[in-house]
Structure 1
Amino acid sequence: MDTTVIESSEFIKVLSDSSVERFTPLTAPASLDLYNGYKCKDVTIDPLKPITARIFIPSTTVGATLPVLMYFHGGGFCIGSTTWLGYHHFLGDLSAASESIVISVDYRLAPENKLPIAYEDCYASLVWLRQQKPTEPWLQNADLSRVFLSGDSAGGNIAYHVAIRAIWDEECPVRIIGIIPIHPYFGSEKRTELEMRQGSTDDVKSNDMFWRLSIPEGLNRDYEGCNLERMEVSEFEWNRFPNVLVFVAGLDFLKERGEAFAEFLNKKGVKEVKLIETKDEKHVFHVFRPDSESTRLLQKQMNDFIHSV
C-alpha cells in the first residue's frame, strides 16, 4: 500500500501508515574501559516498555559517596538517544568533572508514545535507581539523598515534570535537591516575541510539528505538559520544590521560554532559582560541540551548582 508523508523535517518523517523514520547521527558505544576520567555501561530499566539508560561513573569512586544526576535527552520528545555521540561525550566529561554518577535515560519517544509517557518513563528511572542500588556495583557509592534532575530542551521540560511528580508522590524513592534544565522546551498557543520574529519562521514551523507529534490527541499547545500556567500545583507543593539552575542560550529562539520558566518559578516562591545565559550560542550547543569552551564552562557551572546545594 502506498504511503504518504504527513509530517516531515530534517530530523523526522511520519508516514500515513503510522511508521516513523528518524535521522541517525553518529553514536558511541558504552565502554567499561576508563576514558578521560570516566567509564560507562548500558542498563535496562524496564525491558517491556522498553526503557534503557547509560550509566557514567568517574574514576574517583573508591570510598566516596557521590551525588547522582539523572539526565533526560532532548529532541522535541520525538528524537534523541543517550547513545548519540554528543550526549555521550558531554555526560561522560560531566561525570568526571563533577565527580558524580550520571544516569542518562532513554525514554519512549513520540509520536508512537505521546506525552505523558516520557514523564512516566523518566519517573520510573527514579524507582529503578532505588531498587538497583543494593545490588548494582556501579551504584554502591550513589547518594540517593543528593539526586539532581537535568536535561536539555525537551529533557529540561521532563526534569521539571518529574520533579513535580516526585513532590506529589509521598513515597518518592529518592531525595531530589536540584534540577538543572538546559534550554528548556515549553510553549503555549500564544507566541513569544522571538517566535513572531521574521527570521524565526523555520524554527517555529519545526517547533509546532514536534508539539503536534508529542501532545495527546485533541489537545493543543496549552496542554499542561507544554504550557506552564496550566498545571495545578499547590502553594505547599511549591514550597517543597528543589533548587533550580536554568540555562538559556543567547542565540536560541526559545530563550524567552527559558527566561519565562525561571520567572514563573520565582513567582511561585521556589526558594532558589538561578538563570544563566550563555552568550553567542545556539540551542543545545553542548550536544553539537561537546568539546567547546562554552560547553566546558557549562559543565563547570553545573558542577558548582551540584556541590553548592
Structure 2
Amino acid sequence: MSLVAEMPGYLQVFSDGSVKRFAPETVPASMKSTNGYKFKDVVIDESKPITARLFIPESSASQLPVMVYFHGGGFCIGSTTWLGYHQFLRDLSVTSQAIVLSIDYRLAPENRLPIAYDDCYSSLEWLSHQVGVEPWLKLADLSRVFLSGDSAGGNIAHHVAVRAMRNEVSNVKIKGLLLIHPYFGSEKRTEKEMADEADEEIIKNDMFWRLSIPEGSNLDYFGCNFQIQDLSEAEWSVFPATMVQVASLDCLNERGIMYAEFLAKQGVKEVELVEADGESHVFHVLHPESHATRLLQQQMTKFMNSITH
C-alpha cells in the first residue's frame, strides 16, 4: 500500500483508497453562553452524515439574518469544529448580529463532487424545516439568508446559490453571497499560475482538484470552472448580490478577481471586490484574532447591512 497524495500535517491518501486525516486543534460542542454568543452542534442529515455548528449572538433584535457558512480545505479536509473556524465564526456572529450555521459536509476523495454541493444545499432545506421547530432559530429571519465560505467553501456557496435560484427552498430567500478567497480553476492556466507552476500552493491546489472532481473529469468540470455555467441572461439578472474577498499574497488571487469580473460581465446587479493587502490564503482561519480578520468581519457586516436595509 503506497502513499498517492499528501498534505503534510493534514491528509494522506493511500493506493487502496483509504484516507488518513490529521485534525488541528478543535473546539468541542457546548451550549454555554459566553462573551455575547452561544453555540451548539446540530444534525442536518444523520444518514449521510451531515452536521453543523450553530452560533447565536445575544441580541435584543426581534429578528436576525442568517449566514450559512461552508468551510474550506480543497473539499478534502476542514471542519467547522477547527479552532480557527470556530473563533472566526463566533466573532462574526457577534459583529454582524447574525445567526451563523456552519456546515460539516462530506469530504473527498471518499465523497467526490458534486456530493459537497448536495450536502450543503440540503442545509437550506433543513433550515426551512427547522425554523419553526428549533428553539435557537426562533429569531431567524429566512428572508435574509446569506451564503458564505472560504476557498472550497466559497466555491460551494456559488454552486448552492445557483441551485437555490433554480429550485426555490420554501421560506428561504438568498439575499447575498460573501466569498472569501474562492477556489476555482480551469484547464487554461492564469498568467500567475504559468509563471509559478512549481509553487507549492499551486501544486497543492492541483492535488486537491484531482482528489475531489469526479474520476475522469478535468479542470473544466463545471464545479471547477465557473465559466462553464449554463445560466440564462434572465437568471444572471437575479443572481444574488455578491462580495468577493481576495488576498494579495494568495495564489488564488487572480481566480477571485476573474470570478468577480465574470459576474459583473454576466449582468449580476451588485458585485463588490475587496482585496486584503499583504495577506495570504485564508488568513482569517490561520489568524482569527488579527487586525486583518477584524477588518474582514467589519466589511462582511457592512455588506450584509447594505443588502438587508
TM class by shorter chain equals over 0.9
Supply the AA of the counterpart residue of 1:28.
V
Q: Are 1:44 and 2:43 an aligned pair?
A: yes
Match 1:107 to one of 101, 105, 108: 105
The residue number in structure 2 matching 1:137 is 135
Counterparts in 2 of 1:288 and 1:17: CA distance versus 1, 3 Å: same
Match 1:151 to one of 149, 152, 163: 149
Partner SS state of residue 75, structure 1: coil
Q: CA deviation at 1:199?
A: 7.5
Supply the AA of the counterpart residue of 1:282.
S
Unaligned runs of 5+ in 1: none
Q: Deviations over 1:78-131 (max 9, x none)?
A: 000000000000000000111000000000000000000000000000000010
The residue number in structure 2 matching 1:71 is 69
Partner SS state of residue 230, structure 1: coil
Q: CA deviation at 1:6?
A: 1.3
Q: Are 1:20 and 2:22 an aligned pair?
A: no
What is the aligned residue count?
306
Counterparts in 2 of 1:171 and 1:125: CA distance versus 1, 3 Å: closer
The residue number in structure 1 matching 2:88 is 90
The residue number in structure 1 matching 2:189 is 191
The residue correspondences of 1:109-258 to structure 2 (distance < 5 A) are 109-198=107-196, 201-258=199-256
Supply the AA of the counterpart residue of 2:76.
C
Supply the AA of the counterpart residue of 2:260.
A
The residue number in structure 2 matching 1:299 is 297
Q: CA deviation at 1:200?
A: 5.2
Q: In 2, are the aligned partners of 1:57 and 1:138 still within 8 Å (CA)?
A: yes
1:285 & 1:120 partners in 2: Cα distance?
27
Counterparts in 2 of 1:48 and 1:247: CA distance versus 1, 3 Å: same
2:37 & 2:3 partners in 1: Cα distance?
42
Q: Give the TM-score, by structure 2 length.
A: 0.97
Q: CA deviation at 1:201?
A: 2.1
Q: Deviations over 1:211-265 (max 9, x none)?
A: 0000011110000000111121111111110100000001001100000000000
Q: CA deviation at 1:160?
A: 0.3
Identity %: 61
Q: Are 1:29 and 2:20 an aligned pair?
A: no
Partner SS state of residue 307, structure 1: helix
Counterparts in 2 of 1:59 and 1:206: CA distance versus 1, 3 Å: same
Q: In 2, are the aligned partners of 1:72 and 1:150 still within 8 Å (CA)?
A: yes
Supply the AA of the counterpart residue of 2:66.
V
Q: In 1, are the aligned partners of 2:197 and 2:203 still within 8 Å (CA)?
A: no
Supply the AA of the counterpart residue of 1:31.
S
Q: CA deviation at 1:168?
A: 0.9
Structure 1 runs of 4+ with >3 Å offset = 170-173
Q: In 1, are the aligned partners of 2:146 and 2:176 still within 8 Å (CA)?
A: yes
2:134 & 2:82 partners in 1: Cα distance?
24
Q: Give the TM-score, by structure 1 length.
A: 0.97
The residue number in structure 1 matching 2:56 is 57
Unaligned runs of 5+ in 2: none
Q: Deviations over 1:47-96 (max 9, x none)?
A: 00000000000011x45200000000000000000000000000000001
Supply the AA of the counterpart residue of 2:28.
P
1:136 & 1:194 partners in 2: Cα distance?
47
Supply the AA of the counterpart residue of 2:190.
T
